[in-house]
């Protein structure tokens, strides 16, 4: 089964004359872990916006080509129809945490999806267990450490049980120990057969990947199995990637 199918995708922001993405084509199968690397401004975040439907539903630049998420065309599917299929964890968890307690944050997304009360309780218990946050369920997310906040943000995404999860530099603001906790959850998700897209420059995150794309100026300039991409250090250095 194919989780993500992207064909001839190009995107130009409304305020810009230069495309942020040009002619991107790839497939990710169910259960695969894709790593995406590239310098700042190479188009990684724009690509994730296209995968989860923020483009074209919120950002109204010019999009060409197609993105299919579990077979659903993002152009024709409202965000509410995509959020059960694909979730995104961002660099700054503060943007994803809105409620006075951890469990309220988790309940919020589920209530928006009109899930029954009993299912909401069971789901909250499941994701708190998975992310190791059970003891913090009544805490205010504002008072948690950066790593704990990122785990809560991840838990809110997992609450909707999407088959595909994108991590857009989700480790970038975290110290070593906090990163390890997130990577441990990524590993569990991989073992469960989730499809993951990891935008990451650290070896720790990339070790989980089956294949890696290198982006430059809105294009995928190199792609292949993790081992072969990481083995060619000379090529990566020429493109200013230090991994
Ligand atoms: N809201 C925006 N409006 C106009 N241009 C943008 C906007 N967001 C990003 N860009 C441009 O799109 C290109 C790709 O950016 P981005 O996808 O954020 O790259 P990355 O995540 O790899 O750092 C860059 O040239 C950036 O300046
Ligand atoms: Mg980015």
pLDDT, tens only, 117-162: 999 999 999 999 999 999 999 999 999 999 999 999 999 999 999 9
Q: Which ligand 1 atom sits closest to the C-alpha of 218? A: 14
Identify which ligand lies nearest to the alpha carbon of 39. 1
* Nearest ligand to the CA atom of 21: 1
The Cα 206–Cα 198 span in angstroms is 7
Spatial CA neighbour of 96 closest among 159, 161, 189, 178: 159
- CB of 91 closer than 6 angstroms to any ligand 1 atom: no
pLDDT at 179 over 80: yes
Q: Is the pLDDT assigned to residue 181 strictly greater than 90?
A: yes
- Which atom of ligand 1 has the smallest separation from the CA of 215? 22
Q: Is the pLDDT of residue 115 over 90?
A: no
Is 96 near ligand 1, meaning CB less than 6 Å away? no
Q: Which ligand is nearest to the CA of 38?
A: 1
Structural domains for the chain = 1-85+164-174+195-243 (3.40.50.300), 93-161 (no CATH)
Mutation choice for ligand 1 from 20, 52, 58, 200, CB with most ligand atoms inside 8 A = 20
- Tell me which residue of 55, 59, 62 sits closest to 11, measured CA to CA: 62
Helices (H), 116-175: 117-131, 146-159
pLDDT (tens digit per residue) in 184-214: 999 999 999 999 999 987 878 899 999 999 9
Nearest Cα residue to atom 24 of ligand 1: 41
Region of residue 218 (left: phi > 0; alpha: psi -120 to 50; beta: else): left
pLDDT tens for each residue of 39-64:
999 999 999 999 999 999 999 999 99
pLDDT in the model for residue 114: 83
Instruction: Tell me the C-alpha distance between 228 and 243, whole Å.
Output: 13
- Residue 74, CB-side half-sphere exposure with 13 Å CA sphere: 29
Q: Is the CB of 19 under 6 A from ligand 1?
A: no
Q: Is 135 in the pocket of ligand 1 (CB under 6 A)?
A: no
In percent, how much of the chain has pLDDT > 90? 89
Laid out side by side, the sheet with 33-38 consists of 86-89, 164-168, 195-199, 33-38, 211-216, 219-225
Lowest mean pLDDT among 53-62, 80-89, 104-113, 146-155: 104-113
The pLDDT of residue 112 is above 90:
no
Q: How far is the CA of 62 from the centre of ligand 1 (A)?
A: 14
Quote the pTM value: 0.95
Residue owning the nearest CA to atom 7 of ligand 1: 13
């Amino acid at each position: 089964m194919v989780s993500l199918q992207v064909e001839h995708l190009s995107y130009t922001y409304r305020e810009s004359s230069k495309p942020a993405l040009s002619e991107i084509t790839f497939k990710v199968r169910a259960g695969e872990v894709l790593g995406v690397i590239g310098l700042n401004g190479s188009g990684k975040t724009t690509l994730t916006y296209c995968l989860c439907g923020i483009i074209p539903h919120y950002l109204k630049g010019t999009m060409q080509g197609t993105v299919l998420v579990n077979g659903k065309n993002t152009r024709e599917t409202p965000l509410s129809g995509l959020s059960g299929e694909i979730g995104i964890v961002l660099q700054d968890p503060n943007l994803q945490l809105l409620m006075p307690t951890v469990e309220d944050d988790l309940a919020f997304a589920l209530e928006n999806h009109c899930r029954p009360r009993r299912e909401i309780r069971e789901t909250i218990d499941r994701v708190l267990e998975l992310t190791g946050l059970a003891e913090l369920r009544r805490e205010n997310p504002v008072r948690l450490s950066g790593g704990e906040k990122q785990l809560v943000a991840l838990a809110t995404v997992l609450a909707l049980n999407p088959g595909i999860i994108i991590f857009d530099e989700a480790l970038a603001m975290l110290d070593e120990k906090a990163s390890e906790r997130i990577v441990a959850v990524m590993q569990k998700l991989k073992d469960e057969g989730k499809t993951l897209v990891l935008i990451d420059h650290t070896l720790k995150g990339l070790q989980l990947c089956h294949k890696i794309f290198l982006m430059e100026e809105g294009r995928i300039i190199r792609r292949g199995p993790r081992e072969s991409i990481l083995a060619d250090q000379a090529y990566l250095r020429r493109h200013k990637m230090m991994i």
